Amino acid sequence: MKAFIRRALVSAASVAVVGTLAVGCSSEPKPDKPASIASTEPSDEAAAEEPVEPSPSASAAPAIKVGESGTFDFYETDEYGQNPKVATQLEVTVKSAKYVTPAEIDTTNEPENGQFVKLTITVKNVGKAPGEFAAYGMMTWENDDTAAQEATTLEGVGEGQDVDTTYKPGQAVTGSLILDVGAKGGTLNYASSIVDEAPAFTIELPKA
């Protein structure tokens, strides 16, 4: 069984249905549509007011700031990678985001994008089944001027608790990620493994 994540918060998307209303010259009902039948059918206006369930692509990823939490769905598929269904929910709490130099994280490597940030988060399984969190290779950074760039690194691996693991219901881990971003500020995106391109959740980084 294949498993992957999906954002949990769904925006209240509304769909407007516009019908074309043909108006005849006579007030009499059409011969093939008796007045008794026409009066019982819903109008185009009534049909437009019926609620429409938003599609997965219309969902909105939770945007998390430092000190806040956001919840997203962890999905599983069948053996063919199809028919996704929610297996559990994971909660991410952003504890801190600190911009650091290579010396501060004991590395001689320079950030390829321009700036290291030490992101400390708590991941917790708030659902009823096991779920996985995997940040490496799944996080990008972008801002108003720069398109999404891969942000994960191997810096700091092996120090402290590892948030990239499988969580049983109720389990939590607090750990840090060293990410490579283009500048202070901007947005981190935790990618969804589903076909669409929307992230499961985003993190708004501080500007200082």
pLDDT digits (tens, 9 = 90+) for 91-128: 999 999 999 999 999 999 999 999 999 999 999 999 99
Kindly report the pTM of this predicted structure.
0.70
Instruction: State the chain's mean pLDDT as an integer.
Output: 79
Q: What are phi and psi of 105, to 5 degrees?
A: -110, 15
Least confident of 63-72, 87-96, 106-115, 189-198: 189-198
Q: Quickly list DSSP for 108-165.
A: -PPPSSSEEEEEEEEEEE-SSS-EEE--TTTEEEE-SSS--EE-B-STTTTSS--SSE
Confidence (pLDDT) at 77: 84
Percent of the chain with pLDDT over 70: 69
Strand pairing report for 85-100 and 69-76: antiparallel
Confidence (pLDDT) at 18: 37
Least confident of 39-43, 68-72, 83-87, 133-137: 39-43
Q: Report residue 42 as tokens.
A: 């819903």
CB 117 within 8 A of CB 181: yes
Q: Give CA–CA dist 27/196, Å, rounded.
A: 50
Q: Band of the pLDDT at 197, cuts 50, 70, 90?
A: low
Q: Give CA–CA dist 165/70, Å, rounded.
A: 18
**Max Cα separation, the chain?**
86
148: Cβ contacts below 8 Å, ≥ 6 apart: 140, 141, 142, 189
Percent of the chain with pLDDT over 90: 58
What CATH number belongs to 3-9+61-204?
2.60.40.1240
Element (H, E) at 47: helix 44-48
pLDDT digits (tens, 9 = 90+) for 130-181: 999 999 999 999 999 999 999 999 998 878 899 999 999 999 999 999 999 9
The one-letter amino acid code at 126 reads: V
Collapsed DSSP state (helix, strand, coil) of residue 188? strand
Confidence (pLDDT) at 172: 98
